[in-house]
Structure 1
Amino acid sequence: MKISVLTVCWNSAATIRHTIDSFLAQHHGDKELVVIDGNSSDETLSIVRSYPPDQIRLVSEPDSGMYDALNKGLRLYTGDAVGVLNSDDCFHDRTVLGRISAGLETADIVHGDLDFVEDHLSKRVVRRWRAAARPAKGFRAGWMPAHPTFYVRRKVADAVGAFDLSLKVASDYDWMLRAVELHGFQTAATSHVLVDMMVGGASTRSLASHIGHNLEALRARRRWLGSGLVDYALVAKPARKLGQFLSKQRGESKV
């Protein structure tokens, strides 16, 4: 199974080498990395171009943000399955794509564990996200997968379509909700850390960003699931994340 990985970047010279190295180190051989650059002005492009081009496809042009770039990636990838690896994140170890490929042999969607790390040198874990199987009410119950670990077969990506550009920080949540809740695809969780994610992303860097993400997520549930002005997940979703901080030493938090 060929797995395509989409990496969106803009002025990511400080981190993208870690990202690419973790992709190239994967034992799973049938893979491609599609780098969608937003016309970087730092050394990002020269770093990407320093790698052999046989497994890396590069597009660099102005875009309207991360989700616009991801939509370009969805039009460009050539694999049997696709997922996203952010330009400041890394695969946790060399077995990740192999585990994803194995999971997708029997499921349409695979997701797994994620560690939030301070940086990719110390790998100091500040929060642990542990995947759980979809509960009966799914997204209505406050459950969601970790998007950086979320890989889907091509038929899923084709059915879900583009990321919603009207959502600024939760379009990935909206995309996963549509994939899981609207089409009846089979989902599987793997209890293995798939990605080391650096803290400070668009939806996690501040209290205001957390609030913005949760309000946009509610908007998605109202649109697709018929939720009211306030629903159970508006409280349950943040509460589940609190458990990730409290149990980071034990690695026990399930979401």
Structure 2
Amino acid sequence: MRYSIITINYNNKEGLRHTIESVISQTSQDYEYIIIDGGSTDGSVDVIKEFADHVNYWVSEKDKGVYNAMNKGIAQAKGEYLVFMNSGDRFHSPDVLDLMADHHEYIICGKVLKGDSTIPSGHHKPTISLVDLMRGSLPHQAMFIKREIMARHPYDENYKILSDWKFCIHALVYDNCTFRNSDVIVADYDTSGISTNSNGLLAKERKFILQEMFPPRVIKDYQRLAPVDDELLDLSVLLTQTVGARRLAKRFIKLLLRLTHKK
């Protein structure tokens, strides 16, 4: 079995219905479907029962939060790749699973459409670096993750928003897992979720995770690079690839930082 599709839900009956319909409409049938409900009281369980013939495993019980629910789904999964499509999120088209079938890296990341936007969001470089990860996170709705690496690094349930970001740092930096960027639009992303409406919690969790995973000297570099425009940063990195240009690159970066701080 290639895919384990995991949906978590709590009191989002209509969003859950939309998600389920997008899953069962996939042209590929090489998947199992797992739904973890947090003890909903709004009729969500009735929706699950309505589609029970298409669901391989489901449970409705109280949990300790989003990542606890996602870890419950991981524990039940048997597929080669895990796909998290939480209630309210939808596969962008019925052929998404077929379009992703030829990739074999540990982590494959496609694109998402947020809300009413028609411009795909996500990672737009062929590979991914530490700087990329420290400046932003990958959309979990568009990620296909090998189950074995998720079993090694389950989501840290101490965080409410950014445990998936912490997982990416573990897998892609510390474990050096293979990665592929895909232009396939995987999901239509529901922007009403907790990560979109975090009321400052996102910045706090990012700070705590950085402090947990990196020494102060690395965090200092991150703070220096964070304001620098992506294209200018890429150019500075390109300059450092030749020994004779390193001194020029250092001056170039210092100049950029001065200009940035003056804005």
Report TM bin, short chain: 0.7 to 0.9
Shift of 1:54: 4.4
Rg larger in structure: 2
Contact 2:110 2:182 in 1 (8 A): yes
Tell me the equivalent position of 2:139: 146
Question: Are residues 1:226 and 2:219 paired?
Answer: no
2:172 equivalent among 159, 175, 180: 180
What RMSD over aligned residues (CA atoms) do the two structures have, in Å?
2.5
Q: Measure, in 1, the Cα distance between the counterparts of 2:229 and 2:20.
A: 34
Query: In 2 relative to 1, CA 223–28 (structure 1 residues): closer, same or farther, beyond 3 Å?
Result: same
Residue equivalent to 1:244: none
Distance (Å, rounded) in 2 between the aligned partners of 1:5 and 1:24: 10
Could you tell me how far 1:237 is from its partner in structure 2?
A: 8.6
- The whole-number CA distance in structure 1 between the counterparts of 2:36 and 2:228 is 31
Aligned-residue offset at 1:100: 2.8
Take 2:37 and 2:171, find their aligned partners in 1: how far apart are those partners?
26
8 Å Cα contact 2:131-2:222 kept in structure 1: no
Could you tell me the TM-score, scaled by structure 2's length?
Answer: 0.78
CA distance in structure 2 between the partners assigned to 1:238 and 1:8 by the alignment? 37
- Gapped runs of 5+ residues in structure 1? 118-123, 241-255
Give CA-to-partner distance per residue, 1:7-55, whole Å, 9 cap, x none: 1101111211110010011111111111000111111010111014244
2:147 maps to 1:157? no
Query: Which deviates the most, 92-101 or 19-28?
Result: 92-101
Which residue does the alignment assign to 1:191? 183
Per the TM alignment, residue 130 of structure 1 is displaced from its structure 2 partner at its CA by 3.4
Contact 2:33 2:54 in 1 (8 A): no
Deviates more, 1:3-12 or 1:130-139: 130-139
On the 8 A contact 1:27/1:98 being kept in 2, the answer is: yes
Which secondary structure state, in structure 1, belongs to the residue aligned with residue 202 of structure 2? helix
Partner of 1:50: 50
1:204 aligns with 2:196: yes
Structure 1 CA distance for aligned equivalents of residues 106 and 185 of structure 2: 19
Spell out the pairing of 1:66-145 with structure 2 (5 A cutoff). 66-103=66-103, 105=104, 107-117=105-115, 124-125=116-117, 128-132=120-124, 133-139=126-132, 141-145=134-138
2:150 aligned counterpart, secondary structure: helix
2:150 and 2:94 mapped to 1: Cα distance? Answer: 25
Shift in CA distance, 239/175, structure 1 to aligned 2, threshold 3 Å: farther
Report percent identity of matched pairs: 23
Name the residue aligned to 1:121: none
The aligned amino acid for 2:89 is D
| Contact 2:122–2:138 (CA under 8 A) maintained in structure 1 | no
* Residue aligned with 2:204, SS: helix
Q: Is the 8 A contact 2:13 2:43 kept in 1?
A: yes
Deviation at 1:219, TM superposition (A): 2.1
